[in-house]
Amino acid sequence: MNDEKYRTLFNAWRAAWGNGDLDAFEGILADGYVRHTKTGSEGLDSVRKSIQASREAFPDLQTEILETVEDGSMVAIRWQSRGTHTGNFMGVPPTDRMVMVTGASFCRFENGLLAEEWVVWDPRELLSAMNIWDLGTRTEK
């Protein structure tokens, strides 16, 4: 993938997750785009809902791309997101805590468009940043 395609992808990613631009991925996704997560596979509509829910819970959410590795039609992206938890998220009421989560996305491209993505991150990292040590329990530290 050339530098221009990287910039286009990364700008769309930042606009979507960092600014809540739900249309940012238009034009860079292949027809039938699929995103695979720990909970299953989803298309663009579900991704938009995830972005919206994340932005509502963490209105100042920012995602930084830390590292990329390319191998043929695949690009691995290590990223870090941070934001203040001011809204309900994953059943957890607002904690007003600054949280940070690191993860990776493995992206497969077809004809220069993002066709498939596998996303991995550890929800326990997020829960501990929100000071949730046991589901159903919130402790003050």
All structural domains of the chain, each given as residue ranges with its CATH number in brackets, are 3-129 (3.10.450.50)
pTM: 0.83
For residue 1, is pLDDT > 90? Answer: no
CB 93, CB 72: distance < 8 Å: no
Instruction: Write out pLDDT tens, residues 15-55.
Output: 998 888 989 988 899 999 999 999 999 999 999 999 999 99
β-pair partners for 130: none
Report the distance separating Cα 55 and Cα 87, nearest Å: 9
